[in-house]
Structure 1
Amino acid sequence: MSKHQQNEEVHPGWIRYNVRKICFPFISIVIFVQDTMALLSAQAIGLFLLSNDPLKVRHLLDATKRAFIVILMTILTIVAPSTIRITTDNKTITPSTFYRDPKKGRICSQLRNNSITICNHQIYTDWILLWWLAYTSTLAGKVYIMLKKSLEKIPVLGYGMKNFNFIFMDRKWASDKGTLDKQLTEIDARARGISKMQKLHDKEIKKADAGVEPYNLILFPEGTVLSENTRNQSLAYAKKVGRSPFKCVLLPHTTGLRFSLQRLKPSLDILYDVTIGYSGVKQDDYGENTYGLKSIFFEGKYPKLVDIYIRSYDIKDIPLDNEEEFIEWIYKVWQEKDLLLENYYKYGCFHQDEKLSTSVVNSFKINPLEFYGALLLPICTLMFVLIIVYMSIF
């Protein structure tokens, strides 16, 4: 084969790779920046105009919260169009909870209104998947996420996340306990429709009561993603406390989860335990190395199949009042999760027995109107730029 023929064979792939490397990050940035700035503007204007009506403020902020996950999902649908397979445990979750709606052409669900979702943590975008699960059940605007306090200081975005009432943790229990107590107490009160005094822009306002407000609290008991460094830290901690280390997950932290369950107990319906597996990731690999942001956006490497296994626990079955019993309970949950993942890496799925579980498979989709709505502003901007360029040339 001549050198010229070799170049002809390699050249098309090289072009596709470089076009993707340039276009996809650019498209993602344009969509994210323009749509996010529009949301932040809506928040700022709404907070100013509706300062005397906290109920309307909350509805506005919930709408922008839902819109934010729509933006992220729109970008991922374009950049990383993965297939999703959701498998539910038949013993704890009704088989019809997740289903593929033929009219909508996407996965929908009937998740319980007031819930906590816990999950293993492999890559930094795990929380988007958990938020999408809430989206399938119309709870996208009622999601609360625990985040590192440093994220609160991100310019512009930090302002928006604070308006979402996300919970920023300092990872020092002495200071985190008060923050968690205040925000969870408020979430629980709203879920039960309890009127109380609240501060808004340093002004005391009587909150108008409009019934209950559901919630879905998302947290990762491991505290961080699985990596070589965090695995070594987990191994050292396991040795220190006399625990057997896990093969596929890190040891869970118990204090924040137990406190959250206790504070939300009056209104809490259920605890969802989610285990996520990614195709292309082996047991000895690290998901963040395989599917990091660079790999997804610049190299076109994304999981072709995302497996999500879900089971649930009734709150009355969780030993919240005894700390030692709770620790043993969560370690048992994580031990079972570790075994689930070990089997997943062997067989490529979480369960083979149809009597034990129910699965639904579909692409990673959101409402088409919301998808195209997220693209509207960037498309209009692009058309405006093209018109200006055309007019300047001709």
Structure 2
Amino acid sequence: MSDDTLRRRNPGNPQSLINGIYKTDEADNAVTTKEHPAGEIKYGTWAQVVRTLLLLTWFNGVLISIHVTQFLGAPLYLWNKDLYYAYMALTKQSFGVAGVAGTRWFAPTKVRVSWGKDLRGQFHKTTSGRLETSFPERLVYVANHQVYTEWLYLWWIAYTSSMHGHIFIILKESLKYVPILGPGMMFYGFIFMSRKWQKDQARLKYRLEKLKTRHSGPMSGSQGLDPMWLLVFPEGTNLSANTRKASVKWAEKQHIPDMRHLLLPRSTGLFFCLQQLKGTVDWVYDCTIAYEGTPKGAYAPELFTIRTTYLQGRPPKCVNMYWRRFAVSSIPLSDQTHFEQWLLERWREKDELLEQWYNTGRFPADVESATPGKGISKEGFIETEMTLNNWMEIGQIFVVLASAALMVNVALKVVGIFKTLR
């Protein structure tokens, strides 16, 4: 592969492709000029300071409340495992609600969803403009990985199917050691990977066995095994200049064509998950995500950082999603080489989808399902916003902690009364 080809496929500096549009600072990967795809900075320095304090207050308050709630419910494991798992699913719902609410307040974003014909009937728009999906209770879903906050949008999709209490995510091991957040995710049964397969395999097998169980009682689903949405990012990390370089090198080493808009996917983890879950999951759902305003050849994380999105008021103008699904029975799971080829072909299809999006601003749409009176546009997609069904749901986050505080307060008053009587 020539140096010229490498430069075309891996533009280390997006400035060379979109000269004059924006400039990046490699020290903090933040956009430094005002010419930004999402427009000018909406909030000045002091407003950003206030927004930072508000965001930290919300995020830390939520984390502490949920984590204390988890600890208060932990003894249920010794008494009744069915109630324990239902309780933890409720705390997971709370985190999903907090993520949706925080994004709605600090980074409101339009979402445009389209899908393949085999998913017709699984996407609906309510009369109030919210997205509802009717996905199965058990599935594995995969996506390309561009920005660090991608999991928020994919957790919101679980929320639209009332499955935000049953999502499981495969994460890098270092996140396990983040104070409060790490232990909280361990309560959720999230799967941490060190990227050393000899170490990860036994741990992954153990966690996947847990996902093939059945508990009765609340939050246990309608039938069969426990509800479960397992989220996997086969690329392993988000798209950036550095990860693109690694992808190019890997493509050269494997003597295969590189991707234009994606990283080459890693097959080992997903292959193992599907092998272990075979017979308990019928579908793999695939989401291709693109962020409006990202020029071809550029990298979304350099445009839509935490600062630009949540503090400066410059989130993506639209988060675009294209959904399709594959029957697990049709996926070659008897041989990893064949599976690797299957996954690579699916990723090349995603690359073509993104090429179409970069050229037209739209993913393919199911035009035949267009029902403008029911929220599906004449072009065959749904436009909506990431928001809650009911803002009263926020109360769920704090109800246990507030109840515990009330009980402690009452107990202290009773003790005080007894002391007075003496």
What TM-score comes out, normalization by structure 2 length? 0.78
Q: CA deviation at 1:229?
A: 0.4
Aligned counterparts of 1:24 and 1:175: Cα–Cα separation in 2 = 41
Which position in structure 2 is the counterpart of 1:149? 173
Give CA deviations for 1:54-107 in whole Å, capped at 9, x if unaligned: 1111111100001001111111101111011110101x21x22111111x5411
- Separation in 2 of the partners of 1:334 and 1:15? 37
Counterpart of 1:36 in 2: which secondary structure?
A: helix
Relative to structure 1, the CA distance from residue 258 to residue 96 in structure 2 (aligned partners, 3 Å threshold; closer, same or farther) is same
1:54 maps to which of 78, 81, 87: 81
Q: In 1, distance between residues paired with 2:392 and 2:208?
A: 30
1:57-76 superposed matches below 5 A: 57-76=84-103
Would you say the 8 A contact 2:97–2:394 is kept in 1? no
Any conservation in 2 of the 1:188–1:263 contact (CA below 8 Å)? no
1:26 deviation in Å? 1.6
Return the offset for 1:368.
2.1
CA contact (8 A) 2:115 2:364 kept: no
Within the candidate set 54, 60, 67, 1:27 is matched to: 54
Post-superposition offset of 1:25: 1.7
TM-score using structure 1 length: 0.83
The residue that corresponds to 2:344 in the other structure is 331
1:62–1:353 CA distance, 2 compared to 1 (3 A): closer
Amino acid paired to 1:363: E
**What is residue 363 of structure 1 aligned with on the other side?**
385
In 1: Cα distance, 2:145 partner to 2:317 partner: 19
Q: Percent identity?
A: 31
Aligned-partner SS, 1:217:
strand
Q: Distance in 2 between matches of 1:371 and 1:77?
A: 14
Report the Cα distance in structure 2 between the residues aligned to 1:353 and 1:367, rounded to whole angstroms. 26
Pair 1:127–1:288, CA change in 2 (3 A) = same
Q: 1:120 to 1:114 in 2, by over 3 A?
A: same
- Report 1:239-388 matches (<5 A): 239-351=252-364, 354-355=367-368, 358-370=380-392, 372-373=394-395
Alignment coverage as a number of residue pairs:
346
1:38 CA displacement: 1.1
Alignment equivalent of 1:100, drawn from 117, 121, 125: 125
Structure 1 gaps, min length 5: 1-12, 194-209, 381-394
Alpha carbons of structure 1 residues 48 and 375: separation in structure 2 relative to 1, 3 Å: closer
Q: How far apart, CA to CA, are the structure 1 residues paired with 2:397 and 2:179?
A: 24
The change in CA–CA distance for 1:21 and 1:326 in structure 2 (over 3 A counts) is: same
How far residue 166 of structure 1 moved from its aligned partner, in angstroms, is: 0.1
- Assess, with a 3 A threshold, how the Cα gap between structure 1 residues 296 and 15 changes in structure 2: closer, same or farther: closer
Match for 1:81: what amino acid? P
* Alignment check: 8 A CA contact 2:94 2:397 kept: no
Unpaired runs of 5+ residues, structure 2, are 1-39, 217-222, 370-378, 403-422
- Cα separation, partners in 2 of 1:173 and 1:16, compared to 1, 3 Å: closer
For 2:287, what is the secondary structure of its paired residue?
A: strand
User: Is the aligned partner of 1:80 residue 2:81?
Assistant: no
Following TM superposition, by how much is the alpha carbon of 1:49 offset from its aligned partner in structure 2, in angstroms?
5.3
Distance 1:271 1:180 in 2: 18
Deviation at 1:17, TM superposition (A): 2.2
- Give distance in 1, aligned partners of 2:311 and 2:391: 27
Using the TM superposition, give the Cα deviation of residue 33 of structure 1 relative to its aligned residue in structure 2, in angstroms: 1.1
- Find the aligned partners of 1:175 and 1:259 in 2 and give their Cα distance: 14
Question: Do the aligned partners of residues 287 and 16 (structure 1) sit closer, same or farther apart at CA in structure 2, a change above 3 Å counting?
Answer: closer
